[in-house]
Amino acid sequence: MAELPRILVVDDSRVVRISLIQHLKGSYEVREEGDGDAAWQTLVLDHSIRAVISDLQMPKLNGYELLERVRTSKLRRLQQLPFILVSGEETEEERVKARAMGVSDFVTKGAGTAEILTRLNNLLALSNAQESLDAGREAMVQDPVSGLFSRKFLELQVAQALSHSARHGVDTSVMVLGFDGFDAMCERFGPKVAEEIGNRFAKMLAGKMRQEDSLGHYGAGQYAVVSPGTALAFCATFAERVREAVEVARLSLKGQTVALTVSIGLASVVTDQVNSAGALLDSAGRRMQEAMRAGGNRTESGGISPATRPISIGHALELLAANRPEPVKPHLDALARQLLPLIGLINQELGLALPMAEIERRLSERNSAKK
């Protein structure tokens, strides 16, 4: 005989636990715990548990707290575990709270065998289908070399994120980025080396992403990041950090130092009026192309381009160390004003007799000429 699926029943009342076990007997193998803390330890250690039925009011760790630990766990199997709360005299507000925390379903105290089994069977069937879908997707859509997902899989991720956005009224942002001059890179080093460069970049990018974000291929030398629940402004901040990190990187290939830059396009819901996952990805892709046509090494999020962002002294020094003075020049005035007190101190301590007044006068003149 096949082993029965194992269910964890959590309640501080022995009578309630016995009643639930009687309902489940014959269809499921049941493990029981008397408080939320013991249940949590069991869930971490026992990988065979397929679902949880828990009371709300319990000592040490109540039902809400146990649910929160499960849904915020670093273990993916717990994040997606079907979790049923046994509902008694809870208010609608408490039910809404549980739904927001990720409860899978409710059963009322005193519910019959048929109702409990129906809800549990449906949740496990859905869980099994999701596991099969995830395994199939990973087997079919992951690049065996880079480990990144395909564009088709990203469209599925965007579709799921858009559904979540519609239900909860939150944003979903997409970032599409590509190497400037990727075709020339292929001609210079060969497609295989260019692909290796892309894989290095992808690993760097993956290390900067959140766990809930998805990274995949968009095109040759191009990548996309799907960020559910992220507003466009936050995505733009992340995009700029990525662009700057690539800009200052020094890559050595075949004894040559290679300077790389990326162009980035952003799109989001609800900011962009699109009606499909593919359309949202394409909007970000078009903006990436616009950024490339405008000279590259920039981010395009639609609408009016933002003002030039100031750069730090540390970033300016990194650019100069990489022999990249051009991106620093637009910021010279602001950088010089930050450094003037330090230059003045050096001038004084070393007795250099630098023309500090003349430097300040010329900076003022340059600033006035730009206004």
Whether 40 and 129 share a structural domain: yes
Whether 163 and 130 share a structural domain: no
CA distance 253 to 241: 24
Backbone angles phi, psi at 10, to 5 degrees: -125, 120
Whether 188 and 296 share a structural domain: yes
Residues 6+ apart with CB under 8 A from 198: 146, 179, 221, 223
Describe the strand order of the beta sheet including 105-108 as a list of residue ranges: 29-33, 6-10, 49-55, 83-87, 105-108
Long-range CB pairs of 208-212 (<8 Å, 24+ gap) are 208/238, 208/241, 208/242, 208/245
pTM: 0.50
**Domain harbouring 126, CATH code:** 3.40.50.2300
Residue 311 lies in a domain: no
Whether 56 and 124 share a structural domain: yes
Token code pair at residue 285: 């892709």
**Residue 41: predicted pLDDT:** 92
| Identity of the residue numbered 155 | E
Residue 351 lies in a domain: yes
What is the span of the domain harbouring residue 272?
142-306
Whether 118 and 200 share a structural domain: no
**Residue 139: predicted pLDDT:** 53
Token code pair at residue 153: 């899989």
CA distance 63 to 364: 65
CA distance 142 to 156: 13
CA distance 97 to 198: 44
Residue 324 lies in a domain: no
Residues 6+ apart with CB under 8 A from 156: 137, 277
Whether 188 and 207 share a structural domain: yes
Whether 129 and 67 share a structural domain: yes
Residue 320 lies in a domain: no
**Residue 138: predicted pLDDT:** 54
**Residue 190: predicted pLDDT:** 84
What secondary structure does DSSP assign to 118-166, as a single string? HHHHHHHHHHHHHHHHHHHHHHHHB-TTT-PBPHHHHHHHHHHHHHHHH
Q: How many CB atoms lie within 10 A of CB 130?
A: 11
Whether 165 and 298 share a structural domain: yes
CA distance 149 to 134: 12
**Residue 306: predicted pLDDT:** 41
Residue 21 lies in a domain: yes
Whether 61 and 39 share a structural domain: yes
Residue 314 lies in a domain: no
**Residue 162: predicted pLDDT:** 85
Residue 313 lies in a domain: no
Whether 125 and 149 share a structural domain: no
**Residue 304: predicted pLDDT:** 41
Q: Is the dihedral of CA 274, 276, 281, 285 positive or negative?
A: negative
81 Rama class: left (phi>0) / alpha (psi -120 to 50) / beta: beta
Q: Considering just the CA atoms, what is the radius of gyration of the chain in Å? A: 28
What secondary structure does DSSP assign to 232-266, as a single string? HHHHHHHHHHHHHHHHH--EEETTEEE---EEEEE
Whether 31 and 103 share a structural domain: yes
Among the three residues 138, 166, 186, which one is the final residue of a domain in this structure?
Answer: 138
**Domain harbouring 268, CATH code:** 3.30.70.270
Among the three residues 250, 275, 306, which one is the final residue of a domain in this structure?
Answer: 306
**Residue 169: predicted pLDDT:** 78
**Residue 342: predicted pLDDT:** 92
CA distance 53 to 76: 19
**Residue 236: predicted pLDDT:** 86
CA distance 63 to 54: 6
- Residue 224 burial (10 A CB sphere; 0-12, 13-18, 19+): buried
**Residue 133: predicted pLDDT:** 63
Whether 225 and 357 share a structural domain: no
DSSP lists the bridge partners of residue 351 as none
Q: How many domains does the chain have?
A: 3
Residue 319 lies in a domain: no
10-residue block means of pLDDT along the chain (371 residues)?
A: 81 88 88 92 90 88 90 84 81 79 82 82 81 61 72 84 79 93 86 85 84 87 90 84 85 77 91 85 94 93 56 82 81 88 92 90 80 58
DSSP lists the bridge partners of residue 33 as 10
